[in-house]
Chains A and B, each alone.
Chain A
Amino acid sequence: MSYLSLILKNPFRNKTRSSLAIIGIAIGIATIVGLGLLTGGLKASTESTLKAGAAEITVVQANSGMGIVGSTGTIDESRVADIQELSGVKDVAGVLTTTYMDSNSSGGSFRSGQIFITGINSNKLNLANIESVNGTIFSNGNTNEIIMGKTASENLNKTVGDTINLFGTEFKITGTFESGNIMTDSGIFMSLDTLQSLTNKTGTVSTIYVKIADNANVTTVSKAIDNAYPNELSASSAAAQANRMNEALSTIDTATWAISLLAIFIGAVGVINTMIMSVYERTREIGVLKAVGWKERRILGMILGESIVLTLIAAVVGSILGIVAVTVGLMLISNVGSVITPVYSVDLFLRAFAVALFVGIIGGIYPAYRASRLPPTEALRYE
């Protein structure tokens, strides 16, 4: 028998007490892992909106409301060409966005049964953050072809070559894509002409995406658009939107840590209690270990090691619990589940294990110190 195997064996002498301590800490670790997976997913999606190819500026009708998928206002399509002429503008794309209620589906998009549809010229897809398509891109003009985001494809159980009925018309899915943006990936893209025709909005768009020239400044171009069409158009930069999103995410992050710290504190108290009880019960045994020549630091190491074993097991259980809770939770809340993809990063699990190790050390140090300092004669007399 080795010292390590003794340390691994001892925590299971009182299985019920150790299991309860493990569950206590595991809940804390599961909170860290679960919330980390979700915020990681949200962050990844936010970051993807800042990809090089995507538009930096979004132009909508001034004073218009914002729907889930984009602006609810309308802009005359001629403004697309007008904005292209402004200084510092490299490329523009007029897009029309709408939602379609799919009575046969449990939901491909943000809300159950709703599908986000965007009309855009196929050569402007990069401005919508779609860099590559698996299959072929839809043809421009009035065609019955669409491409579908990965999330929508999974949720609607449709893939390249399948057809889908939208507005009473059969559409062929020519391609699928993954942009990394939760909203984009939950939608369907078709030619602008087709969507305008289907929604009786010929000659109008709801949003204009603007990509600026390499040497241009986002704020300057945004202001130029606002100044050129006051009370008609309103420009906002993707960076500003992402910053707002990041601020919200950092608030979530802070809340995650606050919840985690509370869970850790409760877990640490549980570990201290478990280990102190264990040391009390084994007082005479510790006396024997001293009598046979064990050094104080070996006894300290044993009790501390047992505490760390408990918390590391809790880290494994908690990580699994966190993953299962997030997966099941997202499945049950389908309207959120369809748009959030948990991000499994090594960092997150390392953080969970580091926290567990920390709890193990903090929770074990006092009981271990007490045990190591027990006078052997008193320990041997303990009843």
Chain B
Amino acid sequence: MNNENIIEIKNLKKSYDHGKIKALNGIDLNVQKGEFVSIMGQSGSGKSTLLNMIGALDQADEGSIQVADKDLMKTKNLNEFRSKEIGFVFQMHNLIPNLTVLENVQIPMFERNLSSTEMDKRAKNLLKSVELEDRMNQTPNKLSGGERQRVAIARALVNHPSIILADEPTGSLDSKTGDVILNLIKDIHQKENVTLVMVTHEAYVANMADRTITVLDGKVQGDN
């Protein structure tokens, strides 16, 4: 693996429904450490499947995929890999409704054997950085859509991942709130020097990235 590349994908294939649906049909992609890459494509193009492969949420049928020095085709303990290396931001915030904002941010740290004091400290610092320290004891249903997504971003960052994977993080927000969230994500990417891979189908969102990868029918069609 090239020392600069944090993601190296070669001829990656994934099909569903006994091969009838080819979600990925030979993807080749390299992403450098600290890069901000957006993945564009229409619905069903395979962009979310590609994101799931990078995040080790699913395993490919063929090809090779190395992320943060791990060969994901061979790694057995993908939970540990996700816990250490990946932070997910989903289109829907996916916060746990009966837990407070603070508790939601603490959830990923359960697998890291941290003391409750350390968990508290980390979560509070992150909530401060997304300007939600005054809402930390409230449940998600008391928050606006933008606030919920900021909590989700804090949750994604809490284990200090090397890669943030964002799947249409502004898809369920109005444009004004969406811009705030995008700026926050970009700001964190720059400050933390974390690699950011973001799936979107909106060109203006994709244009915020260093590179834009276009996916069509499970293949990379463009790399700008």
Question: What is A's interface to B at a CB cutoff of 8 Å?
Answer: 1-3, 6, 9-10, 12-13, 284-285, 287-296, 298, 375-377, 380
Of A9, A288, A289, which one neighbours B98 at CB under 8 angstroms? A9
Interface residue stretch chosen among B77-85, B174-182, B206-214:
B77-85
**A292/B108 in contact, CB under 8 A:** yes
B24 to chain A, nearest CB (A): 13
Of B57, B96, B108, B119, which one neighbours A285 at CB under 8 angstroms? B96
**A293/B83 in contact, CB under 8 A:** yes
**B106/A377 in contact, CB under 8 A:** no
**What residues of chain B lie closer than 8 Å to A294, measured between beta carbons?**
79, 83, 110-111
What is the CA–CA distance of A3 and B110 in the complex, to the nearest angstrom?
7
What is the CA–CA distance of A354 and B163 in the complex, to the nearest angstrom?
47
**What residues of chain B lie closer than 8 Å to A298, measured between beta carbons?**
110-111
**What residues of chain A lie closer than 8 Å to B86, measured between beta carbons?**
291, 293
What is the CA–CA distance of A296 and B80 in the complex, to the nearest angstrom?
11
> Could you list 26 A-B pairs, sorted by A, with CB under 8 Å?
A1-B119, A3-B110, A13-B98, A284-B92, A285-B96, A288-B88, A288-B107, A290-B57, A290-B79, A290-B82, A291-B86, A292-B82, A292-B83, A292-B155, A293-B79, A293-B81, A293-B82, A293-B84, A293-B86, A293-B111, A294-B79, A294-B111, A295-B80, A298-B111, A375-B58, A377-B58
Per-residue 0/1 for B61-89: is the Cβ within 8 Å of any A Cβ (1 yes, 0 no)?
A: 00000000000000000011111101010
**What residues of chain B lie closer than 8 Å to A1, measured between beta carbons?**
99, 102-103, 106, 116, 119
Residue of B with least CB distance to A295: B79
B101 to chain A, nearest CB (A): 12
**What residues of chain B lie closer than 8 Å to A375, measured between beta carbons?**
58
B49 to chain A, nearest CB (A): 8
Residue of B with least CB distance to A3: B110
**What residues of chain A lie closer than 8 Å to B55, measured between beta carbons?**
291
What is the CA–CA distance of A298 and B80 in the complex, to the nearest angstrom?
12
A148 to chain B, nearest CB (A): 60
What is the CA–CA distance of A299 and B50 in the complex, to the nearest angstrom?
26
Residue of A with least CB distance to B120: A1
User: Any chain A CB within 8 A of the CB of B222?
Assistant: no
Of B57, B82, B108, which one neighbours A380 at CB under 8 angstroms? B57
User: Any chain A CB within 8 A of the CB of B162?
Assistant: no
A77 to chain B, nearest CB (A): 80
What is the CA–CA distance of A298 and B116 in the complex, to the nearest angstrom?
17
**What residues of chain A lie closer than 8 Å to B155, measured between beta carbons?**
292
Known A9-B99, A291-B57, A293-B84; contact A284-B94, beta-carbon cutoff 8 A = yes
What is the CA–CA distance of A100 and B99 in the complex, to the nearest angstrom?
68
Per-residue 0/1 for B149-183: is the Cβ within 8 Å of any A Cβ (1 yes, 0 no)?
A: 00000010001000000000000000000000000
Q: Which 8 A-B pairs have the closest CB atoms?
A: A293-B83, A292-B108, A293-B82, A376-B57, A1-B103, A288-B94, A13-B98, A377-B58
**What residues of chain A lie closer than 8 Å to B88, measured between beta carbons?**
288, 291-292
What is the CA–CA distance of A376 and B108 in the complex, to the nearest angstrom?
15
Of B82, B84, B116, which one neighbours A291 at CB under 8 angstroms? B82
Residue of B with least CB distance to A12: B98
Residue of A with least CB distance to B57: A376
User: Any chain A CB within 8 A of the CB of B52?
Assistant: yes
A93 to chain B, nearest CB (A): 71
Residue of B with least CB distance to A10: B98
What is the CA–CA distance of A377 and B110 in the complex, to the nearest angstrom?
21
What is the CA–CA distance of A9 and B79 in the complex, to the nearest angstrom?
24
**What residues of chain B lie closer than 8 Å to A377, measured between beta carbons?**
52, 57-58
What is the CA–CA distance of A291 and B127 in the complex, to the nearest angstrom?
20
Residue of B with least CB distance to A293: B83
| 20 new A-B contacts at CB < 8 Å, known A13-B97, A290-B82 | A1-B103, A1-B106, A1-B116, A1-B119, A9-B99, A10-B98, A284-B92, A288-B88, A290-B79, A292-B82, A292-B83, A292-B108, A293-B82, A293-B84, A295-B79, A295-B111, A296-B79, A298-B110, A298-B111, A380-B90
The residues in B between 116 and 161 inclusive whose CB is less than 8 angstroms from any CB of A are 116, 119, 155, 159
A19 to chain B, nearest CB (A): 16
What is the CA–CA distance of A9 and B99 in the complex, to the nearest angstrom?
9
What is the CA–CA distance of A284 and B55 in the complex, to the nearest angstrom?
17
B35 to chain A, nearest CB (A): 22
**B107/A292 in contact, CB under 8 A:** yes
B97 to chain A, nearest CB (A): 7
What is the CA–CA distance of A375 and B56 in the complex, to the nearest angstrom?
11
What is the CA–CA distance of A12 and B98 in the complex, to the nearest angstrom?
9
**What residues of chain B lie closer than 8 Å to A10, measured between beta carbons?**
98
What is the CA–CA distance of A291 and B108 in the complex, to the nearest angstrom?
9
What is the CA–CA distance of A291 and B99 in the complex, to the nearest angstrom?
18
**What residues of chain A lie closer than 8 Å to B103, measured between beta carbons?**
1, 6
What is the CA–CA distance of A287 and B52 in the complex, to the nearest angstrom?
12
B164 to chain A, nearest CB (A): 12
Residue of B with least CB distance to A285: B96
